[in-house]
């Protein structure tokens, strides 16, 4: 394979909140006068709502039937602000992407509503960092659906066999990218997903900037 492009996941691959998502969800719910929400229930609802403009449908589903007057739109906005304020780049991530762009086309493919994911990029100052950015909120389907990966490859102008995907999640990233025909580098960290054998390589997130260029060169 002649590698011509690298596509990154965003959350927990290139950027990480400074506290856990369960805490952030609890803080956002309290700020929006909503009842406490389960992180597991949120993730289930999120997987059913990978497309669209905002997280409002996710929170509408979570609040349905609850004894509350909380507004799903307000809760979605509060959660977006809470995450943005907590988000931090993985050390060296931006310089890594800039360096890789000297050799490859570099894209971002991230699951989630458009406003939430674009707001993260704006908060990080990464709006012009990539050759192409694809947010599944703009698509008919999110990762691991092959259509999400095809959209990113189309924006980069490469075939699946010419690209590698770098991400952390076993289902969305490793399974999705491998079934779409891309090489896969799984990002791992303590207490994160277990290394998956379907990945072509694994890299510790703390060493991502230092080790990924060599891993890609060896694919």
- Rounded to two decimals, the pTM is 0.90
Give the per-residue pLDDT at 175. Answer: 98
Q: What is the mean pLDDT of residues 150-179?
A: 98
Q: What tokens does 55 get?
A: 């997280």
81-104 per-position pLDDT tens digit: 999 889 999 999 999 999 999 999
Give the per-residue pLDDT at 178. Answer: 98
- Average pLDDT score, the chain: 94
44-87 per-position pLDDT tens digit: 998 888 777 888 999 999 999 888 999 999 999 999 899 988 99
Q: What tokens does 106 get?
A: 């570099």
122-140 per-position pLDDT tens digit: 999 999 999 999 999 899 9
Nearest to 171 by CA among 76, 43, 19: 43
How far is the C-alpha of 59 from the C-alpha of 62, rounded, in Å?
5
């Amino acid at each position: 394979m002649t590698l011509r492009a690298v596509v990154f996941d965003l959350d927990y691959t290139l950027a990480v909140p400074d506290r856990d998502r369960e805490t952030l969800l609890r803080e956002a719910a309290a700020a929006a006068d909503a009842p406490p929400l389960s992180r597991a229930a949120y993730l289930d609802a999120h997987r059913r709502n990978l497309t669209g403009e905002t997280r409002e449908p996710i929170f509408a589903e979570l609040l349905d039937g609850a004894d509350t007057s909380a507004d799903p739109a307000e809760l979605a906005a509060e959660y977006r602000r809470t995450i943005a304020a907590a988000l931090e780049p993985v050390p060296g991530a931006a310089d890594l992407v800039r360096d890789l762009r000297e050799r490859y086309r570099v894209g971002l493919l991230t699951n989630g509503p458009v406003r939430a994911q674009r707001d993260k990029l704006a908060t990080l100052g990464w709006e012009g960092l990539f050759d192409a950015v694809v947010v599944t909120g703009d698509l008919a389907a999110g990762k691991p659906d092959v259509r999400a990966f095809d959209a990113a490859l189309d924006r980069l102008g490469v075939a699946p066999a010419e690209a590698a995907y770098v991400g952390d999640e076993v289902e969305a990233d490793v399974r999705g990218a491998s079934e779409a025909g891309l090489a896969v580098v799984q990002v791992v960290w303590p207490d994160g997903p277990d290394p998956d054998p379907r990945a072509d390589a694994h890299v510790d997130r703390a060493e991502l900037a230092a080790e990924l260029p060599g891993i890609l060169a060896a694919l």
